[in-house]
Amino acid sequence: MDNPFKFGSVVSEDFFTDRVSEYELLSQLIASANHVIMIAPRRFGKTSLVNKVVANIDRPVLWLDLQLLTNVSDFANQLLKQLFKKYPFEKLKFMIRNFRIIPMLSVDPVTNSVDVAFQPYMDSFVHLEDVLNLIEKLGEERKRPIVVFDEFQDLLLLEKSLDKRLRSVIQFHQNVNYIFSGSSESLMKQIFENKKSPFYHFGQLFTLNKIPYHDFALFLQNRFANITDKYAEISEEILQFSHCHPHYTQQLAFHVWLKLEREKYSEYTVNETVASVIMLHDHDFERLWNNFNNTDKKVLIELAFEQANLMSASVSFTSVSASSTVFSALKRLTEKGILIKNQKYEIDDPFFRDWIIGKRS
């Protein structure tokens, strides 16, 4: 049978793991007039969950990744291009005649895709405001749009005070559901939980955590049972390694399945698979490691050996200044996505964690 595990891209159908309660809550929020603030580290399945919910809703969905935008005008361009993918060309062409600055449109005769270009203007937010209000106007019709702003914490990298200006427009929208998704918990909470922020309590906070051990174990066992009678042992070993991280659990399970297709199970099957994946990424990990400063490396070594309480760790940082340096490193590494924080800090990628341990050993 086909490999039942998938990683590295949006998953759906049989590849999707659990998330029953999260699915129900997100469905209810989108069906209401509320907005959603979704926070979770990268590769935790935010996109897959949203896609699964909206796949069962007959409403247009506009999806924009803010970390890929270059400026506010580009924000408007890309959002309008998303609209042309969801609505008839002639209809939108007629409606944008009311824009204060009408964009240039070009259609690819092969793909029928529409390219958009706004003329330079002294205040490019005018472009974005017109596009946002167009979405609201389209929402007055029977099917309300759902707008997903992914990696929303990167908003202020586009323009200072853009949060204030964006809020001033969309706070009046009654016919659109906005989903603000972000992977940096600290930055997202600064935007939505800080009382001085324009977006303070703008929507329902929705934190996506790791999949519970029991649920993930059942997911793995049900699939490995089709290829080996050691499905319980394999599932336990995989989760002990991955700590229930959604992406890396699927990645390891995928490669273990490939190994079981080639050879019989042994007590070394999972460990040998881990070693082979680490070897495959050895150069990538080495390049990543060489970009860290010495403090970052010390912190990563401590965490790799599961010494999470850095203030009392064996390679200790005892002075006040050193403690401050460690906390700065933790914050920096978390914002870069190298670390995640649940009850404690941990290295996001368990393969990278074991690569560090192997090199130190």
Q: Residue 111: its pLDDT value, please?
A: 84
**Is the pLDDT confidence value at 348 over 80?**
yes
pLDDT class for 317, splitting at 50, 70, 90? very low
Q: Residue 17: its pLDDT value, please?
A: 64
Query: Are 36 and 202 spatial neighbours (Cβ–Cβ below 8 Å)?
Result: no
In this prediction, residues 14-18 reach a mean pLDDT of: 60
Q: How far apart are CA 234 and CA 345, in angstroms?
A: 26
Q: Residue 186: its pLDDT value, please?
A: 86
pLDDT class for 14, splitting at 50, 70, 90? low
**Is the pLDDT confidence value at 359 over 80?**
yes
Tokens of 33: 């007039």
DSSP 294-317: HHHHHHHHHHHTT---GGG-SS--
Q: Which of 52-56, 134-138, 247-251, 273-277 has the lowest mean pLDDT?
A: 52-56
Q: Residue 265: its pLDDT value, please?
A: 93
Higher-confidence residue: 121 or 224? 224
In this prediction, residues 200-222 reach a mean pLDDT of: 92
**Is the pLDDT confidence value at 318 over 50?**
no
pLDDT class for 320, splitting at 50, 70, 90? very low
Q: What is the b/e burial string over 239-278, where b = at least 16 CB atoms within 10 angstroms of the residue's CB?
A: bebbbbbbbbbbbbbbbbbebbeeeebeeebbeebbeebb
Q: Residue 109: its pLDDT value, please?
A: 83
Provide, rounded to the nearest whole percent, the portion of the chain with pLDDT above 70: 93
Total length of the chain: 361
**Is the pLDDT confidence value at 172 over 90?**
yes
Tokens of 306: 């599961």
Helix or strand holding residue 250 (H, E):
helix 246-262
pLDDT class for 335, splitting at 50, 70, 90? confident
Q: How far apart are CA 25 and CA 224, in angstroms?
A: 30
**Is the pLDDT confidence value at 314 over 90?**
no
**Is the pLDDT confidence value at 159 over 50?**
yes
